[in-house]
């Protein structure tokens, strides 16, 4: 049985999904996961945190988040009947919808930057204060429910274009630091320093020894503070990061499975295949074939 450490949202047959105003008032537990497509999250109700890009961001009503393909993240919400978590999630396979941007060269460039660029600001606080965004989601949710199946993909394409116009207006993208993105300069927690170091060194061994040398902290302290602040062990996070990269390499390169295992820091071929299958429910070669067929 596959673990939920990583959660691939399969967009093979239908390359989009609009989860409109999903509502949770109990039993919400966050975990590290990623998706092979883009994801845009908008929060209506609820408070919590998002762990992404080696940082911890607050989540609250009006927070808008853009998540790149295979980008590792974790949403942790404080949920109860008295304070539920309500959100809209837009998921899409970017390669399917890039053609909708051809009439708009500048917007197309912005779309590609968010798709695969590095160092993008991806969290915005206070979105939807003018109700335009909520109206956009509601309009297309109703339209998608009414249209025949063959028209739905074009309706969703229209939603995607409008949504990325809105993201561009908010100032998301590389080098566009905005005080409302939550990326202002501040001192980082130890857990954020750990994640930041792992992002550059996840493929190295012995990883834990190098991490302790870099931070000048003991292994027991690192293990305890990371679990307290993040909710998982350091090695669970490292393996999640390694497998995220493995998914990316399996779908974008022709490297062998053994080469990919070495590249991501798991040189033991049998262990790499075992860990991959435990996480995704199928071995790396089958994952690759499924992605190619899509």
Structure confidence by residue, pLDDT tens digits, 33-81:
777 689 999 999 999 999 888 788 999 999 999 998 878 788 999 999 9
pLDDT at 187 over 50: no
Domain of residue 215, residue span: 190-293
Q: Are residues 122 and 67 in the same domain?
A: yes
Q: Are residues 103 and 206 in the same domain?
A: no
- 3 state DSSP class of 21: strand
Q: Are residues 38 and 121 in the same domain?
A: yes
**How confident is the model over 169-198, as a mean pLDDT?**
65
Q: Are residues 142 and 235 in the same domain?
A: no
Q: Are residues 164 and 30 in the same domain?
A: yes
Calculate helix-pair angle for 219-230, 234-252, nearest 10 degrees: 70
Q: Are residues 33 and 138 in the same domain?
A: yes
Q: Are residues 140 and 256 in the same domain?
A: no
Residue 4 covered by a domain:
no
The domain boundary residue, chosen from 141, 170, 199: 170
- DSSP string for 125-150: SSTTTTSHHHHHHHHHHHHHHHS-HH
Helices first, then strands: H and E counts in the chain = 11, 10
Q: Are residues 207 and 127 in the same domain?
A: no
Handedness of CA 150, 155, 158, 164 (dihedral sign): negative
Per-residue pLDDT, 150: 87
Per-residue pLDDT, 11: 57
Q: State the DSSP code for 27.
A: -
Q: Output 1 or 251, whichever has higher pLDDT.
A: 251
Q: Are residues 165 and 197 in the same domain?
A: no
Per-residue pLDDT, 23: 96
Taking only the tens place, the pLDDT of each residue in 222-231 is 999 988 877 7
Calculate helix-pair angle for 219-230, 190-201, nearest 10 degrees: 100
Global pTM value: 0.70
Q: At 37, which CATH number?
A: 2.60.120.280
**Alpha-carbon span 229 to 56, nearest angstrom:** 10
**How confident is the model over 178-206, as a mean pLDDT?**
71
- 3 state DSSP class of 44: strand
The domain boundary residue, chosen from 107, 135, 170: 170
Handedness of CA 169, 170, 174, 178 (dihedral sign): positive
Q: Output 32 or 235, whichever has higher pLDDT.
A: 235
pLDDT at 4 over 50: no
Q: How confident is the model at residue 293 (pLDDT cuts 50, 70, 90)?
A: low
**How confident is the model over 257-270, as a mean pLDDT?**
97
Per-residue pLDDT, 6: 40
Q: Output 190 or 166, whichever has higher pLDDT.
A: 166
How many beta carbons lie within 10 A of that of residue 92, not counting itself? 24
pLDDT at 182 over 60: no
Q: Are residues 134 and 216 in the same domain?
A: no
* Averaged pLDDT of the chain: 86
Q: Are residues 206 and 287 in the same domain?
A: yes
Residue 24 forms beta bridges with which residues? 85
Taking only the tens place, the pLDDT of each residue in 102-132 is 999 999 999 999 987 766 678 999 987 778 9
Instruction: List the one residue out of 280, 242, 283 whose CA is nearest residue 7.
Output: 280
**How confident is the model over 263-285, as a mean pLDDT?**
94
Q: Is the peptide bond before 206 cis (omega within 30 degrees of 0)?
A: yes
Handedness of CA 230, 191, 124, 118 (dihedral sign): negative
Q: Are residues 26 and 164 in the same domain?
A: yes
């Amino acid at each position: 049985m596959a673990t939920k450490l990583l959660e691939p949202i399969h967009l093979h047959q239908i390359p989009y999904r609009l989860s409109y105003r999903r509502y949770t008032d109990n039993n919400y537990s966050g975990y590290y996961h990623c998706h092979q497509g883009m994801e845009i999250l908008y929060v209506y109700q609820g408070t919590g945190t998002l762990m992404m890009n080696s940082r911890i961001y607050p989540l609250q009503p009006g927070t808008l988040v853009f998540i790149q393909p295979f980008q590792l993240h974790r949403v942790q919400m404080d949920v109860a009947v008295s304070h539920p978590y309500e959100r809209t999630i837009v998921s899409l396979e970017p390669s399917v919808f890039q053609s909708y941007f051809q009439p708009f060269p500048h917007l197309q460039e912005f779309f590609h930057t968010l798709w695969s660029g590095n160092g993008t600001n991806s969290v915005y606080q206070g979105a939807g204060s003018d109700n335009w965004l909520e109206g956009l989601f509601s309009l297309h949710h109703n339209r998608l429910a009414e249209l025949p199946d063959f028209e739905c993909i074009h309706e969703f394409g229209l939603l995607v274009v409008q949504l990325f116009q809105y993201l561009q207006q908010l100032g998301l993208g590389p080098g566009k630091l905005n005080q409302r993105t939550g990326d202002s300069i501040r001192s980082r927690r130890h857990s954020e320093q750990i994640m930041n170091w792992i992002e550059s060194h996840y493929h190295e061994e012995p990883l834990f020894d190098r991490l302790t040398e870099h931070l000048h902290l003991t292994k027991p302290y690192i293990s305890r503070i990371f679990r307290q602040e993040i909710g998982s062990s350091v090695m669970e996070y490292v393996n999640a990061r390694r497998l995220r990269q493995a998914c990316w390499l399996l779908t974008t390169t022709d490297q062998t499975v053994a080469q990919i295992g070495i590249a991501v820091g798991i040189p033991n071929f049998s262990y790499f295949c075992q860990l991959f299958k435990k996480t995704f429910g199928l071995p790396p070669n089958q994952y690759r074939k499924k992605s190619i067929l899509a």
